[in-house]
A and B are shown apart, each in its own frame.
Chain A
Amino acid sequence: MTASLKKWLPIAVAFATGVFFAIQYYIPRPFTDELLSDLSVWFRIISAFAMGLGIISLFHLHYYKIKRQAPAWGFSIVVFLSLFGMIAVGLWCLGVEKNTDTGKMTAYGWLYKSLQSPLQSTMFSILAFYIASAAFRAFRAKTREATILLIAALIVMFGRAPMGEWLWQQAVPTFSVFGVTLPPTIGQLTGWIMKVPNMAAQGGISLGICLGSIAMSLKIIFGIERAYMGGSK
């Protein structure tokens, strides 16, 4: 009994929730919309509980690093100090970042603004360096595909920079045929690439993704895809 329950209960739950919320879309009743709103609360409650799993995992990892005095275990102490420090300050400030009456930032808000925010922005901005080195390394006209990739990238980079537009204007003479000015400006060319070939590829890829993800949804609802329950058996 339990063996089959173990197997079928999750599949039944996935089926029921899946079918219900797929059908909800077709029922124009206020209560179904309310249900959908309530559900987002359910979802937040579940993920709140799940956060505990994350903390346990993190704690476990760094606790053992310190205990075993693994190489560079000192940094694990940094994790603990900053983690518990932040939690303590946050609790003390009741999770409020800015006092809306006085407009003053609390200690919790201050920690976010002067520690987490610059760290976040800096990690993000490292992409400026990486995108340059990736372009330098990867954009070699080795194959036909690579060449196309390279040329499209060069045109768009040129066309989106005001200096590129200006240089193009200076360097490329224009003439008029049947009232049409030729050649197009680099900005127009960029716009055309974005709006025509780019759009075609985006359209094709996203249609494929739509089909793939609808099929995946159906497989989940019908219990064909069970990987999320740990294996197909």
Chain B
Amino acid sequence: MDTVLLGGWIAAGLTLFMYSFLYKDNPFFRFGEHLYLGISVGYGVVRVIFSNFINDLYAPLVYDHDFILIIPALLGLSLYTRYFQKLAWISRVTFAFIVGLGAGLNIPRIIDGGFFKQLEGIIAPVLSETWNFGFANFNSALIIIGVCSVLVYFLFSVEHKGAVNVISRVGIYFVMIAFGASFGYTVMGRISLLIGRSYDLIEFSKPEYYYASIVLLVLIILVLAFYEMYIKKQDKQQVTQ
């Protein structure tokens, strides 16, 4: 059996195993789930060994004598002090390093690229140069109203009563339009994924693959049907742990 054919059967089978979860939790899905877990962690470990340990640490240390890399190595090793109660606090230094790094890198970048850019993008004239009120101006006005009212919704130290309440409600309406719109927009993306999978399944149901998808689909359905009958006879408690 050549590897392409084998790969096709495996891919078709695993695809159907995972889809079987849509019917209900069952041994096919559980097998797929645990296999995926093991494979994915294994893949990650191999990557870490070759690209992080060997390329980033071992090679520069041994060949380039880049001894500064001992510091991150020690920081990494210190994570294991957690297993010794007396030394556990050392691992916090590594946590602090990572957390501090995230905080430091984020501050100027968020302010510059997020905050100021955002403000710059929002401010636009609400009347045209000839003091007319065109559609573009209407849109800029609407954006200003939307942004401000959403910001009012996020005021935490003010009680949302009276005018504040009204404005924050307007803000929520804007938020709901945005979320509804992005939900609607995303439907397309998710259906595309299913289309992608369907292309593959259709491919694997061709004669070159000996109708893999179809054969496997029928088999899975049959086994699931028998499994159902088998469960019904058993005590329910035993299978729903």
B52 at interface, CB cutoff 8 A? yes
Given A122-B18, A125-B196 in contact, is the A210-B118 Cβ separation under 8 Å?
Answer: yes
The dominant DSSP class at the A interface is helix
Chain A residues near B126 (CB, 8 Å)? none
How many whole Å from B134's CB to the nearest CB in chain A?
11
How many whole Å from B49's CB to the nearest CB in chain A?
7
Given A45-B69, A151-B180, A198-B181 in contact, is the A214-B147 Cβ separation under 8 Å?
Answer: no
The dominant DSSP class at the B interface is helix
Contact with A along B32-58 (1 / 0, CB 8 A): 111111111111111111111100110
- Checking A17, A95, A153 against B104 with a beta-carbon cut-off of 8 angstroms, the contacting residue is A17
Q: Which of B170-207 contact A (CB under 8 A)?
A: 171-188, 190-191, 193-194, 196-197, 200
Contact with B along A186-217 (1 / 0, CB 8 A): 00001011111111111111111111011011
- Nearest residue, chain A, Cβ from B183: A153
A41 to B32 Cα, complex, angstroms: 34
B142 at interface, CB cutoff 8 A? yes
A9 to B89 Cα, complex, angstroms: 10
Contact with B along A98-109 (1 / 0, CB 8 A): 000000000010
A186 to B174 Cα, complex, angstroms: 20
Q: Which of B120-159 contact A (CB under 8 A)?
A: 121-122, 139, 142-151, 153-154
Chain B residues near A46 (CB, 8 Å)? 72, 75-76, 79, 94, 97-98
**A-contacting residues of B (Cβ < 8 Å)?**
3, 6-8, 10-11, 14-15, 18-19, 21-22, 30-53, 56-57, 68-69, 71-73, 75-77, 79-80, 82, 89, 92-111, 114-115, 118-119, 121-122, 139, 142-151, 153-154, 171-188, 190-191, 193-194, 196-197, 200, 238, 241
Q: Which of A148-196 contact B (CB under 8 A)?
A: 148-157, 160-161, 190, 192-196
Instruction: Write 17 A-B pairs (CB below 8 A) sorted by A numbering.
Output: A20-B104, A22-B107, A42-B71, A45-B57, A46-B97, A48-B57, A78-B35, A78-B38, A82-B34, A110-B7, A115-B35, A121-B196, A122-B19, A123-B36, A156-B184, A201-B178, A217-B107
Count class of interface residues, chain A: 35 or more
- Nearest residue, chain B, Cβ from A227: B99
Given A50-B76, A149-B176, A204-B146 in contact, is the A121-B187 Cβ separation under 8 Å?
Answer: no
Q: Tell me if B241 and A71 are in contact (CB < 8 A).
A: yes
Chain B residues near A1 (CB, 8 Å)? none
Known A-B contacts: A21-B105, A126-B18, A198-B178. Give 5 more (CB < 8 A): A19-B104, A114-B7, A114-B8, A129-B194, A131-B187
Given A17-B100, A22-B107 in contact, is the A128-B191 Cβ separation under 8 Å?
Answer: yes
Chain B residues near A32 (CB, 8 Å)? none
Q: Tell me if B175 and A201 are in contact (CB < 8 A).
A: yes
Q: Tell me if B181 and A194 are in contact (CB < 8 A).
A: yes
Q: Tell me if A193 and B177 are in contact (CB < 8 A).
A: yes
Given A44-B56, A156-B181 in contact, is the A75-B34 Cβ separation under 8 Å?
Answer: yes
Identify the 7 closest CB pairs spanning chains A and B, nearest first: A200-B146, A204-B150, A86-B42, A49-B76, A82-B38, A90-B46, A152-B180
- Checking A13, A58, A81, A206 against B114 with a beta-carbon cut-off of 8 angstroms, the contacting residue is A206
Q: Tell me if A121 and B241 are in contact (CB < 8 A).
A: no
